[in-house]
Amino acid sequence: MAFMARPIVPKQFRTAAMRGFLLSALNQERANLRTSFQATVATWNHSVNFTIAISYKGNDARLLAWTDDYVWNILNSGTMNRYSILPPGFVPKTRPRVVGSLAGRGTARKSNKSRGSIAAREWNTVIMELHEPVFNQRIAAAIFKGFR
């Protein structure tokens, strides 16, 4: 009885190709994130600039999103005190944990007295929850492509 063995030589790992596939997936998801963040301010009277940076080092791929806009950050995190008077029939443009912006109704006036609080919109958390499954699928697909 004869036994014959033949070595299987693995393909060369293509580091540059893998990096390219991952960066492509990160760029696609960055565009989707920008769309979601812009939806939170679609009906606002002033423009808000969002920065979305790609961080890819070693085995760690991240998208980092932020803005320096004071109003957006106040609404996102909420406040304990609100120094404004809301007229009857006032409808806010945004709602807590809703990615989007409505027309709203009424204008708040400044006050020297605290009049309750502003509920946190938590947009950063909600957007992350919405995009995380798709982000993970894109990265997994990019890794799979890189190994082919």
Tens-digit pLDDT string for the chain (148 aa): 677 888 777 777 788 888 999 999 999 999 999 999 999 999 999 999 999 999 988 778 899 999 999 999 999 999 888 777 888 998 999 999 999 998 988 888 888 878 888 899 999 999 999 999 999 999 999 989 988 8
| CA 117 to chain centroid | 25
Question: On the CB side of 2, how many CA atoms lie within 13 Å of its CA?
Answer: 2
pTM for this predicted structure: 0.83
> Of all helices (H) and strands (E), which one includes residue 23?
helix 15-39
List the domain boundaries for the chain. 15-147
pLDDT for res 1: 65
Q: Report the Cα–Cα distance between both ends of the chain, in Å, rounded.
A: 37
